[in-house]
Amino acid sequence: MPAGVVDAAAKGVKLERHALLLRRAAGAKQLVSASSHLLFRATVLATLGLVVLFAVHYPSLLSHSFSLSALPASGSRSSSSSSSPRSRHSHRSLLGSGTSSSYGWGAAWEREVRRSAKPRRDGALSVLVTGAAGFVGAHCSLALRARGDGVLGLDNFNAYYDPSLKRARQRLLASRGVVVLDADINDAALLERLLSAVPFTHVLHLAAQAGVRHAMRAPQAYVASNVAGLVALFEAAARHADPQPAVVWASSSSVYGLNTEAPFSEDHRTDRPASLYAATKKAGEAIAHAYNHIYGLSITGLRFFTVYGPWGRPDMAYFSFARSIVAGEPITLFRTADGADARRDFTYIDDIVRGCLSALDTAGKSTGSKSGKKRGPAPLRVYNLGNTSPVPVTRMVAILEKLLGKKAHKRVVTMPTNGDVPFTHANVSHAARDFGYRPATSLEVGLRHFVDWFVQYYKVDVRGGGNVLAGKTAKRKSMPMSAAS
Ligand X SMILES: NC(=O)c1ccc[n+]([C@@H]2O[C@H](COP(=O)([O-])OP(=O)(O)OC[C@H]3O[C@@H](n4cnc5c(N)ncnc54)[C@H](O)[C@@H]3O)[C@@H](O)[C@H]2O)c1
* Residues 170-189: x where in contact with ligand X by CB under 6 A, - otherwise, as a string: --------------xxx---
Stretch that binds ligand X, among 9-17, 28-36, 190-198, 203-211 (CB under 6 A): 203-211
> Which residue number places its CB atom closest to ligand X?
134
Q: Which residue among 88, 166, 374, 381 contacts ligand X (CB under 6 A)?
A: 166
* Residues 214-243: x where in contact with ligand X by CB under 6 A, - otherwise, as a string: -----------x---x--------------
Closest separation in Å from C-beta 303 to ligand X: 7
Catalytic residue from among 222, 256, 277, 383: 277
Could you say whether residue 307 binds ligand X (CB under 6 A)? yes
CB nearer to ligand X: pick between 255 and 374: 255
Distance (Å, whole) CA 400 – CA 321: 8
Longest distance between any two alpha carbons in the chain, whole Å: 147
Could you say whether residue 131 binds ligand X (CB under 6 A)? yes
Angle formed at CA 273 by CA 271 and CA 277, multiple of 5 degrees: 130
Closest separation in Å from C-beta 186 to ligand X: 6
* Residues 56-85: x where in contact with ligand X by CB under 6 A, - otherwise, as a string: ------------------------------
CB nearer to ligand X: pick between 125 and 129: 129
Cα 165 to Cα 138, 468, 473, distances in angstroms: 11, 20, 11
Q: Which residue among 90, 126, 141, 156 contacts ligand X (CB under 6 A)?
A: 156
Stretch that binds ligand X, among 28-36, 206-214, 320-328, 426-434 (CB under 6 A): 206-214
Closest separation in Å from C-beta 51 to ligand X: 35
Could you say whether residue 135 binds ligand X (CB under 6 A)? yes
Q: Which residue among 67, 158, 270, 324 contacts ligand X (CB under 6 A)?
A: 158
Could you say whether residue 280 binds ligand X (CB under 6 A)? no
CB nearer to ligand X: pick between 136 and 248: 136
Cα 156 to Cα 33, 129, 189, 240, distances in angstroms: 59, 12, 15, 21
Could you say whether residue 304 binds ligand X (CB under 6 A)? yes
Size of the site for ligand X (CB under 6 A): 30
CB nearer to ligand X: pick between 155 and 341: 155
Distance (Å, whole) CA 346 – CA 319: 13
Could you say whether residue 247 binds ligand X (CB under 6 A)? no
| CB-based contacts of 3, cutoff 8 Å, min separation 6 | none
Could you say whether residue 378 binds ligand X (CB under 6 A)? no
Could you say whether residue 210 binds ligand X (CB under 6 A)? yes
* Closest by Cα among 289, 295, 287, 288 to 375: 295
Q: Which residue among 88, 167, 171, 313 contacts ligand X (CB under 6 A)?
A: 313
Distance (Å, whole) CA 338 – CA 260: 15
Distance (Å, whole) CA 188 – CA 298: 20
Closest separation in Å from C-beta 278 to ligand X: 10
Could you say whether residue 317 binds ligand X (CB under 6 A)? no
Q: Is 277 a catalytic residue?
A: yes
Distance (Å, whole) CA 289 – CA 230: 12
Closest separation in Å from C-beta 310 to ligand X: 13
Q: Which residue among 68, 94, 108, 136 contacts ligand X (CB under 6 A)?
A: 136
CB nearer to ligand X: pick between 197 and 230: 230
Q: Which residue among 94, 191, 195, 250 contacts ligand X (CB under 6 A)?
A: 250
Closest separation in Å from C-beta 381 to ligand X: 16
* Residues 324-363: x where in contact with ligand X by CB under 6 A, - otherwise, as a string: ----------------------------------------
* Closest by Cα among 194, 180, 187 to 242: 194
- Give catalytic residue positions: 277
The contact set with ligand X (CB under 6 A) reads: 130-131, 133-137, 155-158, 166, 184-186, 206-210, 225, 229, 250, 252-253, 304, 306-307, 313, 485
